[in-house]
């Protein structure tokens, strides 16, 4: 089932309908739905060639796969026995026999998926693609779509490379589904509270959500997927790191550190032993590009401040490092059908509360849209100081209409009572908004305020799970 991606599909359609050749670059983590997005886009197109490169094989094997795919596409049986000596021959043949044979003036679409495997991690193929793009393909109605699951490769070797500088006309960094879309993947048959638990553990990654058995409870699914020796998610964390990075050990060290604490780069360096400077910055940039960590700039600081704190941005990795990795030996040996309950019996509600806070930070724009001021947001983020372990204010929005919205995030299975008022008033006193700004207050919780708090009209906005999943 294909869900969502309305904006991305519109961007691809606009590029396809333009009167010039277009070069689109799409990247995002494995399982996020890049290939499904392009497949949906290609559904009503009849002039295209697509190739998905197999993982971790050499150039000769890549060429063999490409040749067989091209042979089936062209109906040329001679290709099966002959093959190509190198990518130049393959692209030259495809250019003459396929890509330049458009009909009715329609664009021909060339879709190359998992480009990092196709290139075997090197730049030679990228240079060759640029050559054929400049010399042949862009001279005719062509849409070239380069797609990859290793974000660092796509950014450094394509988007930021001198080879492709100025050539890209569309860039899509594909993220997780919006919460309401993820709820559709879950069949809209779950309670909002249970659906949120899935998002806090697995994020909005379609690949993960599609593994949820609609006939099982949350606990049953967790035991089957994560806490049984044959669980489908047992190897996922290692797979993520080894697909994204050639030498994953240092990245694992940083992520493990951030699973327990929000840290500045200086603290990461001191605790991990990784020297600060360009090396550590490169690791951090790669983790951000892979959506594995999130940088937080204090609300009262400007871009470029050194007071940036990082935290885990991948929901499943955070859960894995907290509950699965420390118990992996037990998981692989146990015959229990309720190991999830045993392992998480203490502190899981607290963990969910912190995960809900991270969820709100990742969906700042989505929450602003629910509160009907997304077009007025200038900046948003938490308020914290250098020595703060926790945020002083969970989330603050600065709006163009001179309003600062202080958000209180509460993960509670009960409605929120008036006892929250002094706490929020104290937090508002910590904020020093610019002259002329008005402070408004928002409550983001599972079930909203109780009657007394609602009647007090203390909060200007209230977001509940119903608002999040029915946006």
Of 276, 283, 290, nearest to 251 by C-alpha is 283
Print the SS3 string covering the chain: CCCCCHHHHHHHHHHHHCCCCEEEEEECCCCCCHHHHHHHHHHHCCCEEEEECCCCCCHHHHHHHHHHHHHHHHCCCHHHHHCCCCHHHHHHHHHHHHHCCCCCCCCEEEEEECHHHHCCCCCHHHHHHHHHHHHCHHHCCEEEEEEECCHHHHHHHHHCCCCCCCCCCEEEECCCCCHHHHHHHCCCCCCHHHHHHHHHHHCCCHHHHCCCCCCCCHHHHHHHHHCCCCCCCCCHHHHHHHHHCCCCHHHHHHHHHHCCCCECHHHHHHHHCCCCCHHHHHHHHHHHHCCCEEEECCCCCCCCCCCCEEEECCHHHHHHHHHHHHHHHHHHHCCCCCHHHHHCCCCHHHHHHHHHHHHHHHCHHHHHHHCCCHHHEEEEEEECCCCCCCCCEEEEEEECCCEEEEEEEECCCCCECCCHHHHHHHHHHHCCCCCCCEEEEEEEECCCECHHHHHHCCCCEEECHHHHHCC
Indicate whether 449 belongs to any domain: yes
Average pLDDT for residues 364-385, to the nearest whole number? 95
Question: What pLDDT is stored for residue 402 in this prediction?
Answer: 96
Q: Is the pLDDT of residue 81 over 70?
A: no
Question: pLDDT by residue (tens digit) across 424-447?
Answer: 999 999 998 889 999 999 999 999
Question: What pLDDT is stored for residue 165 in this prediction?
Answer: 86
Indicate whether 440 belongs to any domain: yes
Q: Is the pLDDT of residue 260 over 90?
A: no
Statement to judge: residues 153 and 209 lie in one domain: no
Count how many domains the chain has.
3
Statement to judge: residues 41 and 149 lie in one domain: yes
Q: What percent of the chain has pLDDT over 90?
A: 69
Report the alpha-carbon distance of residue 318 to residue 148 in Å, rounded: 24
Q: Is the pLDDT of residue 80 over 80?
A: no
Question: What pLDDT is stored for residue 346 in this prediction?
Answer: 87
Statement to judge: residues 210 and 305 lie in one domain: yes
Higher pLDDT, 306 or 119: 119
Q: Is the pLDDT of residue 340 over 90?
A: yes
Question: Which residue among 336, 356, 376 closes a domain?
Answer: 356
Average pLDDT for residues 349-364, to the nearest whole number? 95
Indicate whether 52 belongs to any domain: yes
Question: Which residue among 155, 173, 191 closes a domain?
Answer: 173
Question: Which residue among 356, 385, 402 closes a domain?
Answer: 356
Question: What pLDDT is stored for residue 189 in this prediction?
Answer: 79
Statement to judge: residues 184 and 35 lie in one domain: no
Statement to judge: residues 167 and 29 lie in one domain: yes
Considering only 102-106, 154-158, 461-465, which range has the smallest mean pLDDT? 102-106
Q: Is the pLDDT of residue 359 over 80?
A: yes
Statement to judge: residues 169 and 314 lie in one domain: no
Statement to judge: residues 376 and 296 lie in one domain: no
Statement to judge: residues 53 and 117 lie in one domain: yes
Statement to judge: residues 197 and 343 lie in one domain: yes
Indicate whether 1 belongs to any domain: no
pLDDT, the chain, mean = 92
Kindly report each contact of residues 452-459 with a partner whose C-beta sits within 8 Å and lies 24 or more positions away, as own/partner: 452/417, 452/418, 453/415, 453/416, 453/417, 453/418, 453/420, 453/421, 456/418, 456/421, 458/418, 458/421, 458/424, 459/408
Statement to judge: residues 113 and 194 lie in one domain: no
Q: Is the pLDDT of residue 388 over 90?
A: no
Indicate whether 144 belongs to any domain: yes
Indicate whether 320 belongs to any domain: yes
CB atoms within 10 A of CB 225: 21
Question: pLDDT by residue (tens digit) across 281-326?
Answer: 989 999 998 889 999 999 888 887 888 999 999 999 999 999 999 9
Statement to judge: residues 69 and 210 lie in one domain: no
Tell me, what CATH number does 379's domain have? Answer: 3.40.1350.10
Question: What pLDDT is stored for residue 103 in this prediction?
Answer: 63
Statement to judge: residues 282 and 371 lie in one domain: no
Indicate whether 188 belongs to any domain: yes
Q: Which domain holds residue 249?
A: 180-356
Tell me, what CATH number does 16's domain have? Answer: 3.40.50.300
How would you list the strands of the sheet with 48-52, edge to edge? 48-52, 108-113, 142-148, 22-27, 170-173
pLDDT-derived band of residue 74, with 50, 70 and 90 as boundaries? confident
Average pLDDT for residues 114-118, to the nearest whole number? 93
Q: What percent of the chain has pLDDT over 70?
A: 98
């Amino acid at each position: 089932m294909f869900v969502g991606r309305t904006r991305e599909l519109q961007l691809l359609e606009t590029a396809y309908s333009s009167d010039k050749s277009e070069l689109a670059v799409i990247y995002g983590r494995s399982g996020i739905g890049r290939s499904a997005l392009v497949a949906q886009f290609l559904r009503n197109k009849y002039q295209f060639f697509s190739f998905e490169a197999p993982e971790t094989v050499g150039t000769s094997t890549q060429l063999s796969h490409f040749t067989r795919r091209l042979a089936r596409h062209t109906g040329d049986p001679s290709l099966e026995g002959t093959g190509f000596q190198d990518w130049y021959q393959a692209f030259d043949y495809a250019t003459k026999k396929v890509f330049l044979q458009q009909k009715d003036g329609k664009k021909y679409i060339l879709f190359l998926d998992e480009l990092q495997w196709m290139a075997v991690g090197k730049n030679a193929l990228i240079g060759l693609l640029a050559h054929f793009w400049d010399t042949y393909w862009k001279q005719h109605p062509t849409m070239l779509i380069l797609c990859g699951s290793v974000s660092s490769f796509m950014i450094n070797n394509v988007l930021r490379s001198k080879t492709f500088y100025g050539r890209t006309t569309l860039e899509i960094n594909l993220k997780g589904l919006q919460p309401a879309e993820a709820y559709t993947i879950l069949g809209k048959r779950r309670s909002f509270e249970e659906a949120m638990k899935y998002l806090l553990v697995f994020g909005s990654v379609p690949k993960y959500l599609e593994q949820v058995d609609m006939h099982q409870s949350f606990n049953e699914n967790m035991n089957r997927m994560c806490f049984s020796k044959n669980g489908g998610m047992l190897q996922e964390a290692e797979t993520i790191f080894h697909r994204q990075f050639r030498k994953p050990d240092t990245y694992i060290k940083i992520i493990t550190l951030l699973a327990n604490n929000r840290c500045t780069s200086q603290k990461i360096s001191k605790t991990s032993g990784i020297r600060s400077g360009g090396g550590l910055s490169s690791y951090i940039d790669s983790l951000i590009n892979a959506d594995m960590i999130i940088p937080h700039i204090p609300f009262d600081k400007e871009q470029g401040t050194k007071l940036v704190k990082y935290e885990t941005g991948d929901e499943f990795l955070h859960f894995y490092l907290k509950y699965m990795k420390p118990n992996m030996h037990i998981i692989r040996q146990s015959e229990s059908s309720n190991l999830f309950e045993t392992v998480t019996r203490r502190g899981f509600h607290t963990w969910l509360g912190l995960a809900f806070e991270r969820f709100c930070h990742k969906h700042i724009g989505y929450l602003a849209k629910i509160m009907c001021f997304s077009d007025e947001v200038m900046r948003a983020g938490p308020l914290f100081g250098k020595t703060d372990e926790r945020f002083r204010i969970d989330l603050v929005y600065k709006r163009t209409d001179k309003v600062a919205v202080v958000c209180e995030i509460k993960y509670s299975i009960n409605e929120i009572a008036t006892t929250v008022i002094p706490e929020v008033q104290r937090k508002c006193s910590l904020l020093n908004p610019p002259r002329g700004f008005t402070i408004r207050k928002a409550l983001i919780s599972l079930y909203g305020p109780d009657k007394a708090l609602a009647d007090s009209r203390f909060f200007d906005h209230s977001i509940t799970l119903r608002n999040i999943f029915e946006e």
